[in-house]
Amino acid sequence: MQYDVIIIGAGASGLTAALNAKKNGAKVAVIAKTLPTHSQTVQAQGGINAVLYEDDDSVEQHIEDTYKGSYNISNKRNIEYMCKNAKDTILWLDSIGVPFNRNKNDKIAQRKFGGTKKIRTCYSSDYTGLKIVHTLYDQCISNDIQFYNEHQVLELIVSNNECFGCIAYDIVDGKVKEFMSKSTILATGGYAGIYKNHTTNSLSTTADGIAIAFKAGADLSNMEFVQFHPTTLENTNILISESARGEGGLLLDENENRFIDELSTRDEISREIFKKIVKKEKVYLDLRHIEKEKIEELIPQEMRLASEFSNIDISKELLPITPAAHYSMGGIKTDINTNTSIKSLYACGECAQTDIHGANRLGGNSLLEIVTFGKIAGINATKNLSTETINQETINKYINQNKSKIKTLLQRDKSSYSIHKTKNTLGDLMFKKAGLFREEETLLSLSKELEALEASLDSIHIDDKSSIYNKNLLEYFELENSICVSKTLIFSAMKRKESRGSHYREDFNKANKLYEKPSILTYKNDQIDLNFEDIK
Amino acid sequence: MKLKINRLSTATNDFKTFEFTVSQENLLKALEEIKTNDDPTLTYRCGCKSGVCGSCTVRVNGVEKLACRTNIKEGDLVEPLKNSRVIKDLVVDVSHETLLIKKTNIGIKESASKNISQADVLKIDTQSNCILCNACYSSCPVYEVNKEFLGPFALTKALRYENDLKSQDEEIINSVQANGIWDCTLCSACTFVCPQGIDPKMDIMQLQNISSQKGYTNPYMNNFDNSMGFDSFDSNDFGFNPNGGF
Ligand SMILES: Cc1cc2nc3c(=O)[nH]c(=O)nc-3n(C[C@H](O)[C@H](O)[C@H](O)COP(=O)(O)OP(=O)(O)OC[C@H]3O[C@@H](n4cnc5c(N)ncnc54)[C@H](O)[C@@H]3O)c2cc1C
Ligand code: SF4
Ligand code: SF4
Ligand code: FES
């Protein structure tokens, strides 16, 4: 199958890229391991940032807040581009049918999010991400965009540092297929999901795209920066939106005393909460003092989530909470045009590191980023269609390698290693040793433990032998990718000997000017290398 | 606690009931527990674990539920959705989604932003909360006899765009006439199972009403006694009232 542009991933970034590439006349296909409406973007509740009306806010202020949030390691020009275009981005989403709430003057309504004093976040009730994805998907359907759903991409086809497409595994019928393209866009989402059982992320967010790109030779950047969200439900890690604190929710310790300013930044609050949890103390979100009507009007989804998943009525009871991995600031290194270090390979959305969020992302800036850069990727990938070709022999080599890998996996003898237990172990270890607090010693021991986990991959048994919807095989690939990305995270966390934003080193508990730079990871000839590079 | 799961055996192509012992009350967690401890091959879809991605829908004791939002009781029986080909265990083919949505001609042709009010937004708020979970599709008796039926979620979506001031599409109403609004028996099964509190039956009745106003007629009308009031919006003679009973 030959396309002009293939897009891997069908969250808001992938769907936006697809629509824009198609609009530019390209022959487009979207490949995703889930269905588009099952992508993680549907989980975004709070909203999407933009300065729409400059009466009390300004684009400059948005740029400044984002830059400050990044702890000075972002690219002001990239941020400026995103913020300047934010209004148009919202108006575009609005024009294709995203039903943004309106205020009394029939203007698009906005709410307040952390990290800024301004009211800047546009929303569609409690379901901003859901409504954005479904609207984009409806547009894709009416524009006849070709979807290959439930196709897990295993590898990029790269020759002489140029990407020619990818190899995917058709989950439904077990076939290995090649998708050839002049341009390839990765929009596979982030990697906070590797903290399994300690994350707000979707169960299918397993860092695939980043691992695949890295193995193909693409540079990664800022992998050490993972944002933890302070308020997720104990036991399930379902997110209780920042709006809860925004509307006056308090954080209480076991003795029902406040211990922190609830409106400090996410990383600070998370760390303070976690210190208590490590000591086996409980921490609660208290909304009892807010009138029930107000709760029902402003945060109805949070009320439902607390009641359904924790069996708690937030208008009457304290809600036990815990911090969890939420968002990954790092990813595949790109420039403002979404180019990666591999020719004809683009990346956008949470899998990309576009020098916007640096060491910490502001709430509401991610949806803005994924739509803004999804559009750039779609357009740019169509403009720069490569004329290079690759011979059939190389393609066959890729196909055969993957087929034989799968065959070998399925033939393996039974062993004591289990995919699911290993996934859980990985999540627990990462949370414990490369979570909210890090230090040389624990990172080193984690690194050893990870080596052992990686070695166990060689003997993990695939229980399901069938070629029909073999989830075990997919889970194996996901585990492989999660381990690969965990390694890059630990490696970067060890090298950054300072504390900055979400990256907190107990042995270097202050920011250090020397490290006021993004980290760049390269992988060549089986060697990982890391450099801190100035922003260009 | 014992949990029963009806699974399609690919070898014999029939369903077998398996019984597992689980400690988790939440159904999705119980499935994960089985996968980790008893049978790694157990296959189901899941994603958000919080009720918004619509991927984990199954039937529990015959009623469509999101696994991640359901607590189980001793002896509950879990089965895949109805009206779709079962691919494996609890996974069914959902490729009909695209076809059905496509047929309704929805989707705003990129228009200039129109000034709308919060009241206009609220008109489409409930319908645009649909998570495409297929619970309604599985529960609908019409699909058992007619696979071409546009059905609850597609028609709800049609209404959502029909009621959107920014859409000026005349095509939508025309598209929902054949195998659409008039084929619904207004039985309310869809309304009963929707996890998002959407009332597709009421949406279909609204579409019937709009159609009548635009001069379309119910093709089955002459087969019915007029007193059944098939096109009358507020008739309570048939179907069931979603606000009463439960
Ligand atoms: C609970 C929650 C609430 C949030 N709230 C907000 C908010 O209010 N505001 C905000 O700005 N941000 C929010 N975020 C962050 C934001 O939602 C994410 O950053 C964003 O959704 C990422 O979108 P994406 O398009 O990059 O990827 P995703 O939506 O994660 O989609 C990834 C896609 O890639 C596909 N894929 C992955 N691997 C493969 C593979 N190997 N082969 C093929 N396909 C693959 C998947 O199937 C999927 O389609 C929230 C995040 C969470 C988890
Ligand atoms: S009310 Fe109509 S659409 Fe809903 S289940 Fe009954 S027949 Fe199907
Ligand atoms: S209308 Fe309700 S039941 Fe039907 S797909 Fe949408 S959310 Fe699910
Ligand atoms: S896992 Fe997303 S709805 Fe249940």
| ipTM, 2 dp | 0.94
The Cα A58–Cα A36 span in angstroms is 34
Give which of A155, A174, A206, A169 is closest to A465, Cα–Cα.
Answer: A174
* Residue among A143, A200, A156, A492 at smallest CA distance from A325: A200
Is B117 within 8 Å of chain A by CB? Answer: yes
User: What's the pLDDT score for residue B243?
Assistant: 37
Task: Give the integer Cα–Cα distance in Å for B68 and B49.
Answer: 5
For residue B20, the distance in angstroms to the closest alpha carbon of chain A comes to 18
From residue A100, how far is each of A55, B53, B225 by CA, in Å? Answer: 20, 20, 44
When pLDDT is cut at 50, 70 and 90, the band that residue B231 belongs to is very low
In angstroms, what CA-CA distances link A264 with A50, A116, A242, A271, B214? 21, 10, 11, 11, 56
Quickly tell me which residue has 């980023």 as its tokens: A369
Which 136-195 residues of chain B touch chain A by CB within 8 A? 157, 161, 164, 166-167
In angstroms, the CA A527 to CA B169 distance is 57
Looking at chain B, the whole-number percentage of residues with pLDDT higher than 90 is 76
Using alpha carbons, list the distances in angstroms from residue A435 to A229, A285, A488, A504. 12, 22, 14, 9
pLDDT band, very low/low/confident/very high, at B207 (cuts 50, 70, 90) = very high
The residue whose CB lies within 8 Å of the most ligand 1 atoms, and thus the one to mutate among A112, A184, A188, A241, is A188
pLDDT band at B61 (very low <50, low <70, confident <90, very high): very high
CA–centroid distance, A434 to ligand 3, in Å, is 40
Q: What percent of chain A has pLDDT over 90?
A: 86
Q: CB of B99 within 8 A of CB of B76? A: no
Closest ligand to B133 CA? Answer: 3
Render pLDDT for B103-147 as a digit per residue (tens, 0 to 9).
998 878 766 567 899 999 999 999 999 999 999 999 999 998 998
Query: Which distant-in-sequence residues (6+ apart) come within 8 Å of A459 by Cβ?
Result: A412, A415, A417
Nearest to B121 among A99, A135, A469 (CB): A99
**A364: nearest Cα among A242, A495, A527:** A242
Contact between chains at B101 and A101 (C-beta distance less than 8 A): no
pLDDT for the residue numbered A392:
94
Residue by residue, pLDDT tens for chain A (536 residues) are 899 999 999 999 999 999 999 999 999 999 999 999 999 999 998 899 999 988 889 999 999 999 999 999 999 999 999 999 999 999 999 999 999 999 999 999 998 776 677 889 999 988 999 999 999 999 999 999 999 999 999 999 999 999 999 999 999 999 999 999 999 999 999 999 999 999 999 999 999 999 999 999 999 999 999 999 999 999 899 999 887 887 789 999 999 999 999 888 889 999 999 999 999 999 999 999 998 888 887 778 889 899 999 999 999 999 999 999 999 999 999 999 999 999 999 999 999 999 999 999 998 999 999 999 999 999 999 998 888 999 999 999 999 999 999 999 999 888 778 999 999 999 999 999 999 999 999 999 999 999 999 999 998 999 999 999 999 999 999 999 999 999 999 999 999 999 999 999 999 999 999 999 999 999 988 889 999 999 88
The pTM (predicted TM-score) of the whole model is 0.95
- Pick among A93, A96, A140, A428 to test the B interface (most B CBs inside 10 A): A96
- Could you give the residue numbers annotated as active site of A? 266
**Which residue in A352, A5, A371, A27 sits closest to A187, CA to CA?**
A352
Q: What is the pLDDT of residue B111?
A: 63
Residue A454 CA to ligand 1 center (angstroms) comes to: 26
- Which residues of A are less than 8 Å from B118 in CB distance? 101-104, 106, 109
Q: Which of B32, B88, B95 sits opposite A468 (nearest CB)?
A: B88
Query: CB-based contact (8 Å) between B87 and chain A?
Result: yes
* Chain B residue nearest residue A475, CA to CA: B40
Whether B245 has a pLDDT exceeding 50, the answer reads no
The pLDDT score that the predictor gives to residue A293 is: 87
- Which of B138, B3, B4, B130 has the alpha carbon at shortest distance from B64? B138
Instruction: State pLDDT tens for residues A362-373.
Output: 989 999 999 999
Is residue A479 within 8 A of residue A427, CB to CB? The reply is no
Q: Whose CA is nearest to atom 7 of ligand 3?
A: B130
Q: What are phi and psi of A317, to 5 degrees?
A: -120, 160
Q: Out of B27, B31, B32, B46, give the residue to mutate to test ligand 4, the one with the largest number of ligand atoms within 8 Å of its CB.
A: B46
